[in-house]
Amino acid sequence: MKKIEMIWREILFGAIEKKNFQFTQKELARDLGVSTSTIFQALKVPRRMGAVRVTGRFFVLADVEKLLYHWANVRNLEKDVMLRSHVDLPVLEIEGMIPAGLTFGLYSACRQLLPQVPADYDTVYVYAKDILPIKERFGLDKAGRARPKRANLVILKADPMLGRYGSVTTLAQTFVDLWNLADWQAKDFTKALGEKIDGLLFES
């Protein structure tokens, strides 16, 4: 994931899950460990499209939906894939065997973020910095190649800032990642996540 996407994620996390729509570039740079020039670059397109409004001392996320859908359309989930493999277990058992310290994404994240999942799913997506613990836990081949059966375990490369959000991806990242899937059920999940996000933004 690119640094500007990590910045968008933090801004969306602040707005959606913490109800904070106002930020300063200096504080955001400090919190994320990046330069203010990187923050400035990340805000260029959101400013141009009206998603972000900059004042003299701070900036405001003025349109959550615009930034969310812009990120969804530029996200390249495939580039983050480190491993695809098949495990002869149901998805809930696979999720239960995932080593501690990793981050659940996509469908598995939805199971924790939503009251109930809108459809069945058959693939577990998880973010990790190192695939070795996963290989050892599930007895995967040394090369990490997918077995002949359809892959039902996908390991994605965790970015350096992902751990700050806990054991599941944020609502915004989960939405964006699912948006990048061609699976038929992904549409149902993004719709349910969109409704959850709207509910959080408009609740009193």
Digitized pLDDT (tens) for each residue of the chain, 204 residues in all: 999 999 999 999 999 999 999 999 999 999 999 999 999 999 999 999 999 999 888 999 999 999 999 999 999 999 999 999 999 999 999 999 999 999 999 999 999 999 999 999 999 999 999 999 998 899 886 444 545 578 999 999 999 999 999 999 999 999 999 999 999 999 999 999 999 999 999 874
Q: Are 39 and 88 in contact (CB under 8 A)?
A: no
Residue at which a domain ends, from 18, 49, 74: 74
- 67 and 86 in a common domain: no
Q: Are residues 103 and 186 in the same domain?
A: yes
Question: For position 141, what pLDDT does the model report?
Answer: 64
pLDDT for res 26: 95
Domains identified in the chain, total number: 2
Both 100 and 180 in a single domain?
yes
How many whole angstroms separate alpha carbon 12 and alpha carbon 200? Answer: 12
Residues 6+ apart with CB under 8 A from 14: 20, 21, 23, 61
Q: Please tell me the predicted confidence (pLDDT) of residue 140.
A: 81
Q: Are residues 112 and 18 in the same domain?
A: no
CA–CA distance, 138 with 147 (Å, rounded to integer): 13
Would you state the structure tokens that stand for residue 117, as one six-digit string? 């999942």
Q: Which domain holds residue 55?
A: 3-74
Query: Residue 25, class by beta-carbon neighbours within 10 Å (0-12 exposed, 13-18 middle, 19+ buried)?
Result: buried
**Extended strands (E) in the chain:** 22-23, 52-54, 59-61, 81-85, 103-105, 124-128, 153-157
The pLDDT, as a whole number, for residue 204 is 47
In a shared domain, residues 114 and 85: yes
42-69 core/surface letters (b: 16 or more CB in 10 A; e: else): bbebbeeeebbeeeeeebebbbbeebbb
Structure tokens at 19: 């109800």
Residues 162 and 66 in one domain: no
Length of the chain: 204
Same domain, 39 and 104: no
Say what the pLDDT of residue 148 is: 57
Give me the pLDDT at residue 57, please: 85
